[in-house]
Structure 1
Amino acid sequence: MDFARVMDVLVICVPVFAVLGLGKLLGIKGKINEGHCQFINWLVYTFSLPSLIFNEVVRQRFDMFLDPALLLMPLAGIAVMVTVTMGIAKIAGYKGGFAAAFVFGTFWPNATYVGLPLCQNAFGPEGLAKAAIYNGFVLPFVIVAGYLLIGFYGAGDGNIKIGERIKNAFINPILLSAVVGIVIALIAEQFRSPEGELNLPMPVLASAELSGSFLKLIGSMGLPLALLSIGASLKWEQTRSHLGALSWSVGCKLLVHPLLTLLLILLFCPEADAVTKGVAVILTGTPSAVAMYVISCQLGVERGFVSSMLVLSTALSVITIPIWVYVVTGL
């Protein structure tokens, strides 16, 4: 074992989980309540993360946005897991909301609130940029898959039709900030020299630099706030009657999906660079998403089971994510 790399892993992972723990402690002490979490989530989702994602995406060369290793291989891994898990649900006789949660719990990652700071710590600005692109384009498909599974199993009691919810999954600040950033990056590509320098008037470059500094400041505050909110929101509700199903869903989320993603990249995208492989594996290996729990509560889909997946996957990710970070930093 390379102990120097172990120390690097600790530097990457410990601050993220320490802030999560601080959020949990503040929640226990009553310093962060549900109202605070709702405001933090609104602020982060509407302003901070879109600013962060736009600011990182707009700086990138356009060829980064067409990377199948980053965008297609994680989705292929999801397709494999969904097929297998739906078969298990059928054999086990799972139905309705429980079946839907059992399946979507295997792949719905917290790639934004947990994934972004991890990728930033692990790979710097390039890792953050790739993670932002993943969030902008892979996560909407993840959310849509969750809604489709809820509809397929006839679960949920929400008043909004499934089509409207799918549309909302694609029209959101995270995706829009990534799309706008890509459009501007494509336009800027026409003014780049072969060395990558932008050939634009000085006032334009100065304005872009000032705007970027503002967006970076707004965006950087979102990551620690999001982690505090997640920590304060973690609540264990019930698991005793479904330990087998819970173990499968959480095991797929933390171990099987990142492993499948890595194997698919090595098999079909062997030319992928180390940062791309690392970001894809880290993001697919993040714990269950808070959005998964929120949507389940809104639709009345197995709140207790989904809450247990969120808590257990977050707790176990303290062990699994450092392992994945150790693996990918050695690629």
Structure 2
Amino acid sequence: MIELLSLGREIGVLFIYVFFGWLGRRAGILDAGTDRAVSSLVFYFTMPALTVTSMSLKISTGQLYEGLLILAGSLVLVTLSYLFILPVSRLLRVDGPAEDSFRFGTIFGNVTYVGFPVCYILFGKIGIFYAALYSLGHNLLFWTLGVWMICRRQGGGFRWREALNINVISIVTGFLLALGHVQLPRLLFEPLNGLGEATIPLALLLIGSMLAEKDFKSLLTSKLVYQSTVIKLLMLPALTLALLHLAPFFSPTGKTVLLLEMAMPAAALAPTVARKYNAGYGFLSRVVVFTTLLSLFTLPVFAWLARY
């Protein structure tokens, strides 16, 4: 129990930033325009810098090998989640456009804005290294399978240029640096490292501001939001934990990163993508807010369970 509380405290520290973001939005210091600016700053500058510098480490052969396994694991786990949610959504009698939003919001998680900070605070830069490789597989499926899911009724399709966004490119670049044991020169590493360190507070402030934008009463009136939350935060991580017991080749760190990434709240970008394709972005916004709030309690539990 003491260990569980300790993990909860470590992860709970991150949500202090979320609270400050919420407070800033309520006080009128932050607004929708600020959110867009911060989101762009994180997406195009600080997140890629954090990814590259976190991979500019002295990585052992074993860690590189495990990183590849985590990359493969992310592709397998997200694909299995998709196969799992197909019959579940039918069983719950979710159909029409709501079915696409339900599946999209339940399968894909916030593996960067929340995943990176959690893995960093628990494991340091090796945690970011593993989380970035998980994110690579996850994001490739997000921008291909995910976008197809959300826009298929509108006759649209994904664009490869979106799948190959700057964050995917930075992950690939960082991994190649790690693979070749290439260390960035100090003149380049220090400014990138300083920029990357801003990712954690900025990303979490952004989530807090987003939470303050929503009406909490609307979160309590949607049965579908509850169902999506239970599957996203409890069922899929529990199934992942069971599968990881059948894969003893992961280290405790690798196992925990995989489990925590699968236990992340719904992807913060999901409503944005849905809005772009005129899909169910209102439902997805509620799912993002509700799962982000409840993940404060579920993430420490799964971080603790991963150690056994």
Q: Please, what TM-score do these two structures have when normalized by structure 1?
A: 0.84
Q: Which consecutive unaligned segments of at least 5 residues does structure 2 have?
A: none
| Identity fraction in percent | 25
2:72/2:137 contact within 8 Å kept? no
Residue 263, structure 1, aligned to residue 250, structure 2: no
1:111/1:286 contact within 8 Å kept? yes
Assess, with a 3 A threshold, how the Cα gap between structure 1 residues 136 and 242 changes in structure 2: closer, same or farther. same
Q: Distance in 2 between matches of 1:274 and 1:325?
A: 10
Q: Deviation above 6 Å: which 4+ runs of structure 1? A: none
Deviation at 1:96, TM superposition (A): 3.4
Assess, with a 3 A threshold, how the Cα gap between structure 1 residues 186 and 89 changes in structure 2: closer, same or farther. closer
Q: Which of 150, 157, 161 is the equivalent residue of 1:162?
A: 157
Q: Distance in 2 between matches of 1:264 and 1:18?
A: 33
Deviation at 1:145, TM superposition (A): 2.1
Q: Which of 286, 290, 302 is the equivalent residue of 2:268?
A: 290
1:119 maps to 119
3-state DSSP class of the match of 1:128?
Answer: helix
Q: Distance in 2 between matches of 1:97 and 1:168?
A: 25
1:24 maps to 22
Q: Distance in 1 between matches of 2:34 and 2:117?
A: 21
CA RMSD between the two structures = 2.3
Give the partner amino acid of 1:180: T
Assess, with a 3 A threshold, how the Cα gap between structure 1 residues 163 and 108 changes in structure 2: closer, same or farther. closer
Pairing of 1:1-331 with structure 2 (within 5 A):
1=1, 3=2, 5-59=3-57, 60-61=59-60, 64-67=63-66, 69-152=69-152, 154-155=153-154, 161-164=156-159, 167-188=160-181, 208-234=185-211, 235-236=213-214, 238=218, 242-243=222-223, 245-267=224-246, 269-328=247-306, 330-331=307-308
3-state DSSP class of the match of 2:119?
Answer: helix
Residues 160-197 of structure 1 deviation map (CA, whole Å, 9 limit, x = unaligned): x4132xx13321111101111222333337xxxxxxxx
Q: Distance in 1 between matches of 2:91 and 2:118?
A: 37
1:57/1:133 contact within 8 Å kept? no
Deviation at 1:305, TM superposition (A): 1.0
3-state DSSP class of the match of 1:188?
Answer: coil
Deviation at 1:263, TM superposition (A): 2.1
1:137/1:175 contact within 8 Å kept? no
Bigger shift: residues 217-226 or 63-72 = 63-72
Q: Distance in 1 between matches of 2:220 and 2:199?
A: 35
1:22/1:228 contact within 8 Å kept? yes
Residues 248-288 of structure 1 deviation map (CA, whole Å, 9 limit, x = unaligned): 21112111222222222221x21210000111111111111
Q: Please, what TM-score do these two structures have when normalized by structure 2?
A: 0.89
1:201 maps to none
Give the partner amino acid of 1:319: F
1:61/1:185 contact within 8 Å kept? no
1:56/1:129 contact within 8 Å kept? yes
2:150/2:274 contact within 8 Å kept? no
- Provide the aligned length of Structure 1 versus Structure 2: 303
Residues 183-236 of structure 1 deviation map (CA, whole Å, 9 limit, x = unaligned): 2333337xxxxxxxxxxxxxxx7x623322221110001110111011101243
Residues 286-319 of structure 1 deviation map (CA, whole Å, 9 limit, x = unaligned): 1112101111122221122111101110111111
- Which has the greater radius of gyration? 1
Q: Distance in 1 between matches of 2:206 and 2:235?
A: 27
